Amino acid sequence: MTTETESPIMDPISQSHSSGTTADLADAAPVATAPEPTPAPAPPKPERKRLAEVLVVTSGKGGVGKTTTSASIACGLARAGKKVCVIDFDVGLRNLDLIMGCERRVVYDFVNVIHGECTLRQALIKDKRFENLYVLAASQTRDKDALTKDGVEKVLADLGDDGFQFIVCDSPAGIEKGAFLAMYFADRAIVVVNPEVSSVRDSDRILGLLSSKTHRAEKGQRVKEHLLLTRYSPTRVEKGDMLSIKDVQEILGLEVIGVIPEAPEVLQSSNSGEPVILDANSNAGKAYDDAVARLLGQQRELRFTTVEKKGFFSKLFGG
Ligand SMILES: Nc1ncnc2c1ncn2[C@@H]1O[C@H](COP(=O)(O)OP(=O)(O)OP(=O)(O)O)[C@@H](O)[C@H]1O
Ligand SMILES: [Mg+2]
């Protein structure tokens, strides 16, 4: 705030104007005024080149494991040496910061950046485990319109300019604005599905949106889609209570990037703010590690997808 004792800061333009007196102005020759030209139509906004690969983690149905997946994929990519930012698009229901274990360090969020209330750098939370991993938390505001397409585009482009290689967008559930914006600029999509009919059906709607309502689709390009089946239980598939990998693959017609088993450690990991991929003893963690390797182009066999037959001794002694 400027106080009376402070001298006002003059910019060079206003100083040069103030050097003229009222008399100077009165003596000045009348200036012929040309008719106002009609304004030319604004040139199309030049498209900023995005350097980072944008990956959306999406699903139609809620509660299927998107945030769990976003956190593990982001950590896995960072562990592979990539510079990664994971963004929570779930305005009003932020969760990712908890699963990433940085909830106490959230000062500014994604909406603050978009509204110009802080810089992107101020809002990025650096992970304590990987120095090349950052989290951008969701806002707690109840205003679902707080995110804008232009704002999201600028943040993604700025992250690319800053050397980020992957941006993981954790989508909210459903097909409303937050979910639409999370997928709009995606280059690739990880469609998270539980092996049950309702989850598969809702994912089918998301696939429709990915191929019609995204920036790539509007340019006549495709968003590369991957299927990630999670909470998979081979025992329940064998009993006929769950859809098999083949069933889901046939219905959705997608290539499988990972199958994550149902595992109690997932909840424990989330509660302790350590994404399950970092738990070397967990089958779910190992399955996420395989999924990240496949995303990076490596070949890995699927694991934990068949019922483990108990050996003679474990049957005998109940091991
Ligand atoms: N492989 C798994 N095994 C067991 N539980 C899991 C597994 N994956 C996710 N869960 C559990 O499922 C619940 C929902 O997970 P998560 O929050 O990641 O889903 P979401 O799709 O992000 O939900 P929302 O749509 O509300 O954002 C959590 O309690 C999580 O611990
Ligand atoms: Mg979530």
Q: What's the 3-state SS for the chain?
A: CCCCCCCCCCCHHHHHHHCCCHHHHHHCCCCCCCCCCCCCCCCCCCCCCCCCEEEEEECCCCCCCHHHHHHHHHHHHHHCCCCEEEEECCCCCCCHHHHHCCHHHCCCCHHHHHCCCCCHHHHCEECCCCCCEEEECCCCCCCCCCCCHHHHHHHHHHHHHCCCCEEEEECCCCCCHHHHHHHHCCCEEEEEECCCHHHHHHHHHHHHHHCCCCHHHHCCCCCEEEEEEEEECHHHHHCCCCCCHHHHHHHHCCCEEEEEECCCHHHHHHHCCCCHHHCCCCHHHHHHHHHHHHHCCCCCCCCCCCCCCCCHHHHHHCC
Residue 55 alpha carbon to ligand 2 centre in Å: 15
Pocket of ligand 1 (CB under 6 A): 59, 62-68, 90, 95, 172-173, 230-231, 260, 262-263, 266-267, 270, 284
The residue whose C-alpha atom lies closest to atom 18 belonging to ligand 1 is 65
pLDDT of residue 50: 61
Distance 63 CA to ligand 1 centre (A): 5
The confidence score (pLDDT) of residue 40 equals 75
Q: What is the pLDDT of residue 299?
A: 96
Question: CA–CA separation, 255 vs 215, rounded Å?
Answer: 22
Atom of ligand 1 nearest to the CA of 263: 3
pLDDT of 283 reads: 97
What spacing in Å lies between the alpha carbon of 66 and ligand 1's midpoint?
A: 7
The atom of ligand 1 lying closest to the CA of 172 is 27
The pLDDT tens digits along the chain (319 residues) read 333 333 333 333 333 333 333 334 344 444 555 666 677 777 666 666 668 999 999 998 999 999 999 999 999 999 999 999 999 999 988 899 999 999 999 999 999 999 999 999 999 999 999 999 999 999 888 787 889 999 999 999 999 999 999 999 999 998 889 999 999 999 999 999 999 999 999 999 999 999 999 999 999 999 999 999 999 999 999 999 999 999 999 999 999 999 999 999 999 999 999 999 999 999 999 999 999 999 999 999 999 999 877 666 666 665 4
Q: Which residues surround ligand 2, an ion (CB under 5 A)?
A: 66-67
| pLDDT computed for residue 104 by the predictor | 95
> What pLDDT does residue 35 have?
64
Q: What is the predicted pLDDT for the residue at 311? A: 67
Q: What per-residue confidence (pLDDT) applies to 124? A: 98
